[in-house]
Amino acid sequence: MTLTTTLSPPLRGSYTLPGDKSLAHRAALFAALATGKSVIESFPLSGVTQAMLDALTAFGVEWSYNAGTLYVLGRGIYGLQRPSEPVNCRNSGTTIRLLIGAAAAAGVPCTLDGSEGLRRRPMSRVTEPLQTMGVAITTAANGCAPLVLAARAATTPLKGATIQLPVASAQVKSCLLLAALAAAEPVTITEPGPSRDHTERMLTAMSVTVRHDTTINRVTLTPPLEPLKPLHSKLAGDISTAAFLIVAATIIPGSDITLCGVGVNHTRTGIIEALTAMGADITITPQPDRSGEPVADLHIRHAPLKGITVSGDLVVRMIDEFPIFAIAAAAATGQTIVRDAAELRHKESDRISRLCNELKSIGVTATEHPDGFSIATGAPFGGVVDTHGDHRLAMSLAVAGWISQRGVTVKNADIMTESFPDFTKVALKLGATVKID
């Protein structure tokens, strides 16, 4: 699919966000490890969440989906079945990293694999600490997928451990916390900075004892003596999805939109803080929490932006939003600099390199750095770009077209369905210009 966006009239209206994908991955998997039937409302079906659901099917988990609600019949921590063939996690890093932790707890032998892109993402960062807990697991020679897990008797618990992660990562932390469910003693994980705490919140809601000291970025899980309780929850809206619309409304003159039910967990609101520092007009109206996750409605109006520098802990709290943040930077006055973001090179693509190259192809002055990038003032002229199989890059470049002189044509834009299948539908509803070929 080829998608073309051109200079857009103001965006107007409101939109209720689908459930957050990070929460959806966890809810589906944790429900599979519970005993009993879980009911998860506002579950977003997309390419990445379908990868998790199909993987759970391979482990013998029964689930059904109807009108936005996912129903999962849990098998218990030790109830996952041995897959009959290697499990295809597609291009989902969250699926493979969380699932290997759950499989390690269950002691079920399996092989987890995925796309060529997934096979380039580092996995030793999860396998090495798992090995210290007594998990027999191997990677390919380059430290990437496929991951091969050996069997372990349920009567043989994993070891308790104190683990220091070299890089703050919610996926790695979550993997280890899931494995810790089958440990003989508590497992403590310390990170060099903050990362998403969705796993800690959700496991706590399932009656697992999790202590989280945010002052030193340390979390300790005490293995449960009772089965996990099933989930009955409604997922908070996806702030990563909201980010595309927040930036679009901010940079398109005259825009005025409201986004409803957005998850505003502090570990995820870096994009709002960065845009606000640039001068964005974003009003946050708190709504009732959903299963321990804070939620708010966001009112966004067009506003002129100025360049800023983003670094340190803020980077981790907006790690998935840098492609769309770069579009805001292109629309700002003055230079924007991003530092301490080398982790972007290990996403669905090398996001630093791909992002800078594609921005330059549409006339944006973008400079690549080892751990980030810088962008100078100047809205995009327009042109033809490629997604390189990266859904966030695809949608970000589409947003760039709405402030461009000649429009932006995005090739291979169907990759957007991996995370936001309704992107074009919602954009048209709010008044944006979109053409699909």
* Per-residue pLDDT tens digits for 260-300: 999 999 999 999 999 999 999 999 999 999 999 999 999 99
Q: Please check whether residues 29 and 104 belong to one and the same domain.
A: yes
- Give the residue numbers spanning the domain of 190: 21-224
Q: What is the pLDDT of residue 330?
A: 97
In a domain, 145, yes or no: yes
Average confidence score pLDDT of the chain: 97
**Domain endpoint, select from 168, 189, 224:** 224
Residue 262's nearest CA partner among 296, 300, 299 is 296
**CA angle in degrees (0–180, nearest 5) for 39-42-48:** 100
Q: Please check whether residues 352 and 328 belong to one and the same domain.
A: yes
Q: What is the pLDDT of residue 379?
A: 80
Please report which residue ranges of 75-139 form alpha helices under DSSP H.
93-106, 124-132
CA distance 268 to 196: 7
How many domains are there within the chain? 2
Q: Please check whether residues 132 and 190 belong to one and the same domain.
A: yes
CA distance 92 to 411: 21
**Domain endpoint, select from 156, 190, 224:** 224
Reply yes or no on whether 281 is catalytic: no
CA distance 98 to 161: 18
**Domain endpoint, select from 157, 192, 224:** 224
In a domain, 229, yes or no: no
In a domain, 369, yes or no: yes
Separate counts of helices (H) and strands (E) for the chain: 13, 24
CA distance 163 to 66: 40
Q: Are strands 110-113 and 69-75 parallel, antiparallel or unpaired?
A: unpaired
* Per-residue pLDDT tens digits for 166-199: 999 999 999 999 999 999 999 999 999 999 999 9
Q: Please check whether residues 321 and 384 belong to one and the same domain.
A: yes
Mean pLDDT of 238-250: 99
Q: Are strands 62-66 and 161-164 parallel, antiparallel or unpaired?
A: unpaired
Predicted confidence band at 323 (pLDDT cuts at 50, 70, 90)? very high
* Per-residue pLDDT tens digits for 74-108: 999 999 999 999 999 999 999 999 999 999 999 99
Q: Please check whether residues 247 and 343 belong to one and the same domain.
A: yes
Q: Is the pLDDT score of 314 beyond 90?
A: yes
Q: Please check whether residues 183 and 46 belong to one and the same domain.
A: yes
Q: Please check whether residues 37 and 63 belong to one and the same domain.
A: yes
* Per-residue pLDDT tens digits for 191-234: 999 999 999 999 999 999 999 999 999 999 999 999 999 999 99
Lookup: tokens for 161: 């451990």
Q: How far apart are the first and last CA of the chain?
A: 6
Q: Please check whether residues 165 and 263 belong to one and the same domain.
A: no
Cross-strand pairs, 232: 39
CB 433 within 8 A of CB 410: no
Q: How far is CA 321 from the centre of its chain?
A: 9
Q: Please check whether residues 324 and 217 belong to one and the same domain.
A: no
Choosing from 320, 414, 422, 437, which is the catalytic residue?
320
In a domain, 257, yes or no: yes
Q: What's the whole-model pTM score?
A: 0.96
Mean pLDDT of 29-42: 98
DSSP state of 38: E
* Per-residue pLDDT tens digits for 324-383: 999 999 999 999 999 999 999 988 779 999 999 999 999 999 999 999 999 998 888 999
* CATH assignment at residue 9: 3.65.10.10
Q: Please check whether residues 297 and 344 belong to one and the same domain.
A: yes
Q: Please check whether residues 83 and 191 belong to one and the same domain.
A: yes
In a domain, 231, yes or no: no
Q: Three-state SS for 283?
A: strand
In a domain, 320, yes or no: yes
Q: Please check whether residues 14 and 92 belong to one and the same domain.
A: no
Please report which residue ranges of 269-312 form alpha helices under DSSP H.
270-278
In a domain, 230, yes or no: no
What one-character-per-residue DSSP string does 189-224 give? EE-SS----HHHHHHHHTT-EEEEETTTTEEEEEPP
Q: What is the pLDDT of residue 349?
A: 76
Exposure on the CB side of residue 105, measured as CA atoms within 13 A: 29
Name the amino acid, one letter, at 264: V
Q: What is the pLDDT of residue 196?
A: 97
Predicted confidence band at 398 (pLDDT cuts at 50, 70, 90)? very high
Mean pLDDT of 143-150: 98
Q: How many CB atoms lie within 10 A of CB 20?
A: 27
Q: What is the pLDDT of residue 89?
A: 98
CB 130 within 8 A of CB 100: yes
Q: Is the pLDDT score of 244 beyond 80?
A: yes
